Structure 1
Amino acid sequence: MRKLSVLALSLVFLLSACAPNFGKQNEVVQTKEEDKGKAIIPKYNISDSYYRTILPFEPSETRGLVVNNINTRYDLNEFEMGLMRIAQNSFDTDKYYFREGQEIKAKTIKAWLNRQYTPEQLKANNIKPEDNIGLNPVNTGTAEEPSSPIYLAHILEHDYLTKDDKGNVSLGGVTIGLALNSTYYYKVQQGEGTIQKEEKIDAAEMEREGKKMAEEVIKRMRSIENLENIPITIALFAQESKSSVVPGNFIAYATVDKGSSKLNDWEKVNEKYYLFPSSDAEKDHRDDETAFLNFKQDVEEYFPNFNGVIGRAFYGGDQLQELNITIPIQFYGKTEGVGFTQYVAGLVMEHFPAYISVSISVTSVDGPEALIVRKADADEPFVYIYQ
């Protein structure tokens, strides 16, 4: 058994990223926003994969909307973090600082997420023609048989700030994420109540409609104060169904040059999540799933009546990048949990290639029991056992 490092949970998360940059102190800077004032750039950058966030933290007006419009917590996390990954293609983490979206207001986002309306529908719903700015297509059918689905579920804005040599911080770039529905859910009347129906949306159709909407979003953004000349990156996210236990993924992104309203060529995003074990994983990544199944089999040998090991695998291209495993189990003593955690940590080193990051969460009915993290190319895992 390899030597295990049992650390405080905060240290696990700190070390699970790339080596932090502790060389810089907190820096007070001057903002150029309407509320001119002081802001702080934190001294710690825990990883080159993350942006430092300007303080004090400014929540976006739309922060509550994303929870209502995105199908699952898995989609919500990936939508936000995946958009930040895409931003790194345009905005260097060493030169830009992150801020939640402040430029497109919540009222505007809500209006853009609506359907277009016919003149008759405008009159029936007492909507002013100037408010008929929904990006989703008009429904010329009925509630029970809509003529088209809702393609666009949510719009997410991330802002990226730059600092000049005088310490002034100002908006330097924006990324926009368009969350698209792969499944359209709608309610129909049945008797005295309603039932929910669903319609699968063809992937090519979803992408085509998303790109059309992206062009319109960019045109509208150029008419918003502060966004007339800012470089923009816009990306399409295909969210999964409400029943999915893995998140959706970004499928494409495009950049817009400073001062332009024309999108540059679309770039394909080759990322995807798989559930282990599953028929999709077996079909597309047989070797990786075999390694997982061997790991699962060894876990079950420790507890013969147990078979609850589930993995969520993230692929960049055809390469497995990260594997997150959940092991729900019932222990009858703390020492039993410690012994099991030691055993599983050893299995991680034996079964999974060094180039992938693996994290394992061991849980019971009482809550989390242990966390095991083996970063890519690490010599040994970090282990935390909850007290």
Structure 2
Amino acid sequence: MKKILAAALIATAALLAACGNLSFNSSAAGKGSGSSASKYTTTGTTDASMYEGVIKDGRYQTSSARGLQLTQNQQDGNAFNIKSMEAGLQALSQKQFATSKYLFEEGQLLTTATTRKWLAHKSAKDAEGLNPKSNKSTDANKRVPTYLQTILEQDYMTQAGAKMTLGGVAIALGMNEYDYYQKVKYGATYTTHITDAAMTAQGKRMAQEVVTRVRRMKGVANDTPILIGLYKLAARDSLVGGTYFDYVLSPSGDTVSDWKPVNQQNEVLPTVDNKKPINQTVSDDFANFQSNVENFFPTLAGVTAQAHYESNQLTGLNVTINTQFYGLTEIQSFTQYVGSMASKYLPSGVKVQITVQSTQGIQAFLSRSRGAKDFTTHVFDSY
């Protein structure tokens, strides 16, 4: 059951990551950075809640360290963590860096080499390692675990005339709740569970060090705001991504003090292993939607959803419907019916995205913005 749900939800995550409004901002064309060799433009946006992206010399600036994790063993785990971490960090950043004033750029400060050093356990060989020094124990309860698993950086730029400068930095520290390790190479995998208290203490210690190091990097001014978010990675067999639990803003210097808690929860619907849902009403509403949709065609492979909560309130629902039929007219009729059932049963006032797909790919997509009444739908034709 988990493998089927995971395959469906990963496809949804891939679609949502690919969906964006990119429109070339011709008004910015030809603007320089102060050097004739570098020309900046922006992606433009049709949604005020989204950042415009930075394009330099005709190319979108990617981050060399994105998705880098400490060990391959961990990287083979939960595919939802990185996407969830990115979206969550951008949401936290919007509290400080308004979309109307700042442009978004993938992290350019942390190189692959630097990130690898920071993710390591501190040792004579890796003096910059943020993880505590290993005690070489292989006992799950005695060993020093890997607390920090991955680092994500996002940069927020400001533009004044022909000059573009770094206006703020946001960094997420991906912390392990479950540290997977092997006693011998290619051997069995064991797990050390890390308590919330230990995770928080280590994360805040590391955040102070990260701010100090970033503050001394070229291009980062003493008064450049640096936001640090602490993110609890979901277990590698989880059907949803992790969540943020604390963040802090360092407005200047090395100050890291005013931590703010973040109350986030994720779950998959229907719940598995008889797990009690976070919100029974939301679960019941989805069950009604699921039942009606599955009765429409007997060949459906399944209907699942990822639910996201902020401060115990549902804020988003990503639904995946796996089908086994391929006729265009069937898909058109089915999509209309799904939109009708979604309007009737799914919670109102929250963002909802529905992907209809088969083994041959995505067949239809439905979405409703937060606060909107009607769904926007699109059926993918074969031409």
- In structure 2, the residue matched to 1:45 is 45
Instruction: Report the counterpart of residue 327 of structure 2 in structure 1.
Output: 333
Amino acid of the structure 2 residue aligned with 1:346:
S
| Structure 1 match to 2:31 | 29
Residue identity matched to 2:376 = F
Rounded to whole Å, the distance in 2 between the matches of 1:93 and 1:333 is 42
Percent of aligned pairs with the same residue?
30
Which SS does the other structure have where 1:44 is aligned? coil
Which structure has the larger Rg?
1
* Alignment partner, residue 9 of structure 2: none
Shift of 1:330: 0.8
- Residue 209 of structure 1: aligned partner: 202
TM-score by length of 2: 0.84
Shift of 1:133: 1.7
Aligned ranges 1:273-352 → 2 under 5 Å: 273-278=266-271, 282-304=276-298, 306=300, 308-331=302-325, 333-352=327-346
Matches within 5 A, 1:115-134: 115-117=121-123, 122=124, 127=125, 131-134=126-129
Distance 1:22 1:28 in 2: 12
Letter in 2 for 1:28: G
Select 2:117's aligned residue among 111, 119, 137. 111
Give the conservation status (yes or no) of the 8 Å contact 2:318–2:354: yes
Distance of 1:252 and 1:384 partners within structure 2: 38
What are the Cα deviations for residues 170-198 of structure 1, in whole angstroms up to 9, with x where unaligned?
111111111111110101238xx511112
Q: Select the structure with the greater relative contact order (CA < 8 A; seq sep ≥ 6).
A: 1
Q: Structure 1 unaligned runs (5+)? A: 1-11
Is the Cα contact below 8 Å between 1:362 and 1:370 reproduced in 2? yes
Tell me the CA shift for residue 99 of structure 1. Answer: 1.5
The counterpart of 1:61, out of the listed 64, 68, 82, is 64
Contact 2:43 2:55 (8 Å CA) reproduced: no
Contact kept? 1:144, 1:187, Cα under 8 Å? no
Query: 1:39·1:54 contact (CA, 8 Å) conserved in 2?
Result: no
Structure 2 gaps of 5+ residues are 1-14
Amino acid corresponding to residue 258 of structure 2 in structure 1 = D
3-state SS of 2:331 partner: helix
1:264 corresponding residue in structure 2: 257
Give, in angstroms, the shift of residue 167 of structure 1. Answer: 2.7
Q: Distance in 1 between matches of 2:63 and 2:23?
A: 27
Name the residue aligned to 1:92: 98
| Residues in 1 aligned to 2:103 and 2:174: alpha-carbon distance in whole angstroms | 24
- The SS at the match of 2:285 is helix
Q: Which residue of structure 2 aligns with residue 4 of structure 1?
A: none
AA partner of residue 111 (structure 2): K
- How many pairs align? 356
Match among 189, 203, 206 for residue 196 of structure 1? 189
The 2-side partners of 1:94 and 1:21 are apart by 16
| Cα shift at 1:307 | 6.5
Task: Kindly provide the CA deviation profile for residues 246-281 of structure 1, in whole angstroms up to 9, marking residues without a partner as x.
Answer: 0101111101112x1011311111222111111697
Give the direction of change, closer, same or farther, for the CA distance of 1:186–1:323 in structure 2 (3 Å limit).
same
In 2, are the aligned partners of 1:312 and 1:323 still within 8 Å (CA)?
A: yes
Q: CA RMSD in A?
A: 2.8
* Matched-pair contact (CA < 8 Å) for 2:178–2:193: yes
Residue 194 of structure 1: SS of its match in structure 2?
A: coil
For residue 55 of structure 2, give the secondary structure of its aligned residue in structure 1: coil
| Distance (whole Å) between structure 2 residues aligned to residue 22 and residue 59 of structure 1 | 18
Rate the CA distance shift 1:254–1:246 in 2: closer, same or farther, 3 A.
same
Which amino acid in the other structure matches residue 148 of structure 1? V
Residue by residue over 1:296-317, the C-alpha shift from the partner in whole angstroms, topping out at 9 and shown as x without a partner, is 1112222357562111011122
Amino acid at match of 2:156: Y
Shift of 1:17: 8.2
Judged with a 3 Å threshold, the aligned counterparts in structure 2 of structure 1 residues 216 and 36 are, in CA distance, closer, same or farther, namely farther
